[in-house]
Amino acid sequence: MGGFVKPNKMLDEPIDPYLPQNGNRGYRVSRYELELTYKVFSNRLAGKAVITAVTTENRSKFSFDLAQNLQVSKVSVNGARGAKYSRQNNKLIVTPGTKIPAGGALSVTVQYTGNPEPIKGLWGEVGWEELTEGTLVASQPNGAASWFPCDDHPSSKASYRISITTDSPFYALANGALVRKQTRASATTWVYEQTEPMATYLATIQIGQYEHRQVSSGRVPIFAVHPPRLHNEFDVDFSRQPQMLDVFGKLFGPYPFADYTAVVTDDELEIPIEAQGLSIFGANHCTGRRGSERLVAHELAHQWFGNSLTIGAWCDIWLHEGFACYAEWIWSENSGGPSSEALAANAYQGLMRKPQDLILGNPGPAMMFDDRIYKRGALTLHTLRGVLGDDKFFELLRQWTTKHRHSTVSTEQFTDLASRFTDIPLRPLWDAWLNQKPLPRRT
């Protein structure tokens, strides 16, 4: 995985060279239970995190990702107070009072406070972000540590219970089902349960002066969370989500979660944000003119490709973004818009005008969210569809989402599965589209 070695030997070589400071060894998390109290106007967060895990090796210390600006006041391990802890480079390093053998239970409770702020990196600022009135959390790829201690890597998926107590005028939303809501004095506590395994970067909190309502009661209930002023605009811009669910469910396999929520913030956002079971859009995406429907389809598709099926290494990001971009084209051709072939031809011409210095299957951290990942990834799938034919191609996608539902995936797993759908060797296709910089010729 590369030659980078962290100064503390306990932290080992990086789990992922794209994010060498993120992720931790020695344990496997199965559950996070977060009790958060947040003061909106002072941006003050007080948290208690209970992390349930199993150790995978013998070691005296365990590390967790946690932003340095959050102050830890107390740590206990397996209910005992004798644990020691220290901070180093956005890590919380915990030394249990009693050594835990490999395969042993590890339950770490951390109490902490601070003024949460985004984590700065190659991709701008990610994580906890203040809005004009409220907050949003957009953690991809490494922003989860801005608001709770965690094993912050996409290969680490767990169930969650998130409790958020905030000022009563505000609506608070997190991943999963709302299992309890209680108002006391001027504060309201919202408790959400996310039972399906979820990567840390997909965990989210959304707080604002929001209206919450159900907008579709089909097989997959759809909810809307938005400022009251955008009620009518939302009903125009997001009106075709039920049809999208029908199309994607038929072609990609059953929707992988219990329901779906589209959030619109009162602030503008440069791009929409994916989270498990929900998507977050800016007020600029909700204008009543249906101008962002392509993005609505893209974010919905991430529930299959990114949230249920999550990459185990960031170098495989095309398995998220290429698939979601191709879902835009599939929605277009199934809703009276241009065909996938027409959109592919247009995307290809656009890529031909751009530098051809990117390897789709391993773009490097600086370019892993480059727009060419999205378009070239979609073109790769469109090329594969041309080789397999529609019936086999969509059967491949359905098997892909079924076989790996709620788990971790890699490019190798996808190419291996695809090879079972044809006698034609696919290696030349993968080499040309995934492993070479020059854009292949379209056939």
What tens digit of pLDDT does each residue of 224-277 get?
Answer: 999 999 999 999 999 999 999 999 999 999 999 999 999 999 999 999 999 999
Just give the CATH number of 9-207: 2.60.40.1730
- 195 token code pair: 């039972």
Place of tokens 């965990």: 203
- 411 token code pair: 């490019």
Q: First and final CA of the chain: distance in angstroms?
A: 36
Which CATH architecture does the domain made up of 211-303 adopt? 2-Layer Sandwich (3.30)
Q: pLDDT digit string (tens) for 169-225?
A: 999 999 999 999 999 999 999 999 999 999 999 999 999 999 999 999 999 999 999
Residue 396 φ then ψ, to 5°: -60, -45
Question: What is this structure's pTM?
Answer: 0.96
User: What's 133's DSSP letter?
Assistant: T
Q: Dihedral of the CA atoms 267, 33, 123, 43 (nearest 10)?
A: 40
Q: Are 22 and 65 in contact (CB under 8 A)?
A: yes
Q: Are 303 and 258 in contact (CB under 8 A)?
A: no
Residue 301: pLDDT over 60: yes
What residue ranges do the domains of the chain occupy? Answer: 9-207, 211-303, 311-435
* Euclidean distance between CA atoms 351 and 437, whole angstroms: 12
Same-fold call for 9-207 versus 311-435: no
Q: pLDDT digit string (tens) for 54-92?
A: 999 999 999 999 999 999 999 999 999 889 999 999 999
Q: pLDDT digit string (tens) for 349-387?
A: 999 999 999 999 999 999 999 999 999 999 999 999 999
Tell me which of 3.55.50.30, 1.10.390.10, 1.10.3720.10, 1.25.40.10 is the CATH number of domain 311-435.
1.10.390.10
Residue 157 has a pLDDT of: 98
Residue 235 has a pLDDT of: 98
Q: pLDDT digit string (tens) for 42-53?
A: 999 999 999 999
Residue 337: pLDDT over 50: yes
Residue 7 has a pLDDT of: 38
Q: pLDDT digit string (tens) for 378-428?
A: 999 999 999 999 999 999 999 999 999 999 999 999 999 999 999 999 999
